Amino acid sequence: MATLTFRFNNIVDLINKLKPVNILVYIDMKLNNVVIHYNPKDEQNKEFLNSVKEYMPTLIKPHIVKHHHPRFR
């Protein structure tokens, strides 16, 4: 747990420094890791995502469903 707390706190420091947008960060006990939900289309987050790699978080992109029904175009 101490390692997760260390990683999480360092990621929070990066958030305060780099100001990423539209992200969600938490500790997932089932995964036993820090999880970051993010949108890869947010260009502003690139520096943050590159910097956070050293803390080995689980990165989750949104699941985008493409509908083939004509009403969903």
Instruction: Indicate the SS3 state at residue 52.
Output: helix
| Better-scored residue on pLDDT, 39 or 65 | 39
Confidence of residue 1 (pLDDT cuts 50, 70, 90): confident
pLDDT of amino acid 47: 95
Q: Say yes or no to pLDDT of 54 above 80.
A: yes
Strand order in the sheet with 24-28: 24-28, 33-37, 58-60
Residues contacting residue 45 through CB under 8 Å, at least 6 positions apart: 20, 21, 22, 23, 38, 39
pLDDT tens-place string over residues 16-51: 999 999 999 999 999 999 999 998 888 889 999 999
Task: State the pLDDT at residue 23.
Answer: 95
Instruction: Choose the CATH number for 2-72 among 2.60.40, 3.40.50, 2.60.120, 3.30.300.
Output: 3.30.300
